[in-house]
Each structure stands twice: as structure tokens, then as C-alpha cells.
Amino acid sequence: EAGVVQSPRYKIIEKKQPVAFWCNPISGHNTLYWYLQNLGQGPELLIRYENEEAVDDSQLPKDRFSAERLKGVDSTLKIQPAELGDSAVYLCASSLGRGRFNEQFFGPGTRLTVL
């Protein structure tokens, strides 16, 4: 079974430029998560989807970050414009659902460098 797929794996951009990350979750997983991981820190939730609905986006900086999950499968996270402080690893994870089905499977992440 294929795991969570993310692309690109690495991205280098200049500040003020836009950037987008793509995630394809494990087939059948209804819940999708986007996390931000800074160096030396654990993942911090940006947004959680249940199917196509964003059920928790309280930590998403909505002035510059946006996300979508069309048809409840793939998801895209966008930053526009990027700032120096956005340099981090962006992780996507998916799970079957809630309760005993909330074990998360993580993708390899996208390492973003903003110059």
C-alpha cells in the first residue's frame, strides 16, 4: 500500500514569492492534516480536514496561508507571499478517522527555504 505522498520534497524561493505544496493521502483515509515543523521542534498542526471540510484551521495564519482539499482526497497548502520565517518542513499526514482510527501516517515532508 502506498504511503502519504508529498511534493515537492524541497523548495527554495525568495521572500514575497508564492509557493504551494501538494499532498496525496493514503487511499480511504478521510482525515488529512497539515503540520509545520521548525528545526528542533515537534510538528504543529496548521489545519485538519475531515473529508473536504476544514474542521480545525485555528492555527493557520490566514493572512498568507490557504489550503484546500477538493473532493476530499488530495490537498494543497499555499503560502502567498512567503516570508523568511516560513522556512520549515511542511508535513502532511492522514488517518482513517477518529477514536481508534486516528493513528496518523506521515508523508516525507516538504522542506521550504525562503531566501
35 close to 44: Cβ distance less than 8 angstroms = yes
Task: Decide: is 33 part of the binding site for other proteins (CB under 8 A).
Answer: yes
Question: Minimal CA–CA distance to 20: which of 41, 34, 2?
Answer: 34
Q: Is 85 in the site for other proteins (CB under 8 A)?
A: no
Q: Is 1 one of the binding residues for other proteins (CB under 8 A)?
A: no
Site string for other proteins, 42-81 (x = CB under 8 A): xxxx--x-------x-------------------------
* Dihedrals phi, psi of 58, to nearest 5 degrees: -65, -25
Local structure of 10: helix, strand or coil = strand
> Using CB under 8 A as the criterion, which residues of the chain lie in contact with other proteins when the complex forms?
3, 33, 40-45, 48, 56, 91, 93, 98-100, 102-109
